[in-house]
Structure formats: structure tokens, C-alpha cells
Amino acid sequence: MTPEMIVNLEKLLDGPRDNAMLRFSLGNAWLAGDPARAAGYFRDAVTRDPAYSAAWKGLGKALAASGDAAAALQAYREGITVAEKRGDLQAAKEMKVFARRLEKQLETPPE
């Protein structure tokens, strides 16, 4: 997504078109360049729509990329529950893989 597209999406914030999908889109847009900012948008998306399993997955990725493995693991666990309730089995499967990696990482003491 180009910087101009991000600016245009951000102009929609707090307006009539502001919704979970807009926040999710902005989270994805910022994920590679500013994962902490992306996490904020993903968090807003799941607050607006707690059943948005893709936003839970994005939140986990953003938190992990920001260095907060414990919060990322919690987001994945919540997202797995949401995805399984919705029947979104692929998202649940992916989040389980990411969660297992984080569990191993958190078990291993830093050198």
C-alpha cells in the first residue's frame, strides 16, 4: 500500500466509514514498517468487532513483531477461540502454529 493510500484511509478515521475493516486495513498497511502502530489499529478492529478472526491474527503478528511475545500469544489464543467459534478453521490453524512458536520462545531462557 502506498503512503498516499494510507493517508487517504486515515482520513476516514472517526467518520461514518470508520469500522473494523478500515482499522484492519490500516493495521495491515503499517505492519511491515511500524508494527507497534499496526497493533493499535488491529486492537481497534477487534474492539469494534471481537469476532474478526483475521484482525486477531494481525494483532498477534504485530505484537510479536513489536517484541511483545506474551501479548502476541494472548492475542493468538483469543483469536483461536474466535476463529473456532466462527468455523474459520484455516485462521485458527495458522494462529495455533504461531502460538506454539511463541510458547517455545517464551519457554527458552535468553542467553
Q: What is the dihedral of CA 5, 11, 12, 14, to 10 degrees?
A: 150
pTM above the 0.75 mark?
yes
pLDDT at residue 111, as a whole number: 61
pLDDT tens-place string over residues 8-40: 999 999 999 999 999 999 999 999 999 999 999
List the chain domain ranges.
3-107
The rounded distance, in Å, linking the Cα atoms of 77 and 34 is 23
User: C-alpha cell of 56?
Assistant: 486477531
pLDDT tens-place string over residues 51-94: 999 999 999 999 999 999 999 999 999 999 999 999 999 999 99
Q: List, in order, residues 6 or more apart from 96 with CB less than 8 Å away.
A: 76, 80
Arch. (CATH architecture) of 3-107: Alpha Horseshoe (1.25)
Residue 34 sits at φ, ψ, to 5 deg, of: -150, 80
**Which residue has 486495513 as its cell numbers?**
25
